[in-house]
Amino acid sequence: KSNHFICMFAFHRIRPQLAKEKIEGCHICTSVTPGEPQVFLGKDKAFTFDYVFDIESQQEQIYTQCIEKLIEGCFEGYNATVFAYGQTGAGKTYTMGTGFDVNIIEEEQGIISRAVKHLFKCIEEKKEIAMKNGVPPPDFKVNSQFLELYNEEVLDLFDTTRDIDAKNKKSNIRIHEDSTGGIYTVGVTTRNVNTESEVMAILYFK
């Protein structure tokens, strides 16, 4: 019904066994064929994705393969959404980096912190290129929202008046689609941010 093009990719990541699982003698029930985007479950089931990451995959590899081009596409006018889906214990928090541990080493950083760093690096590069070419640097405005989808309700994690124990309370946040197919929210706290450290600070200490 519209002229805009939407493309979605599904990436599958298999996490390593947890220490508890090893102690309990749990067996790894999945296998992958190198270079093939398939996951085999047991002997008779196979599932195909756009890309499959095995248990040896690293955080940087995930970001480079899945996210890097999305951030760069933002500067060309493209919207992008990334979300992790899976049952409890699947590794969503680790992959996305929403644990926000200030002591985490760089190699272990997840998608969010890497994306924020990449975004502001691109902004600085765009400004430097403009200055070298003798033209006014572009003006960038970055806004941040922090939402949680819980039991089909959207929660505003930046809302300091929100009762954190009342997760079952009806949310006033509304999600709309504009005339070009873009998605926007109403009733959400928005914070203007200017640096990578500023973004991470409000996420850590929201």
| Joined tokens for residue 130 | 């403009």
The reply to whether 195 sits in an annotated binding site is: no
Task: Give 157's contacts (C-beta < 8 A, 6+ positions apart).
Answer: 146, 147, 148, 206
Task: Give 117's contacts (C-beta < 8 A, 6+ positions apart).
Answer: 196
| Joined tokens for residue 170 | 């009806």
What's the CA gap between 21 and 14, in Å, rounded? 14
The reply to whether 38 sits in an annotated binding site is: no
The reply to whether 97 sits in an annotated binding site is: no
Provide the pairing of β-strand 11-13 with 51-53. parallel
| Inter-CA distances, 41 with 49, 57, 112, Å | 14, 19, 30
DSSP letters spanning 25-90: TPPP-EEE-TTS-EEEETTTEEEE-SEEE-TT--HHHHHHHHTHHHHHHHTTT---------STTS
The reply to whether 17 sits in an annotated binding site is: no
The reply to whether 92 sits in an annotated binding site is: yes
The reply to whether 89 sits in an annotated binding site is: yes
Contact 70, 80 (CB under 8 A): yes
Residue 177 DSSP SS3:
strand
Give binding residues as ranges. 86-93
Give binding residues for ATP as ranges. 86-93
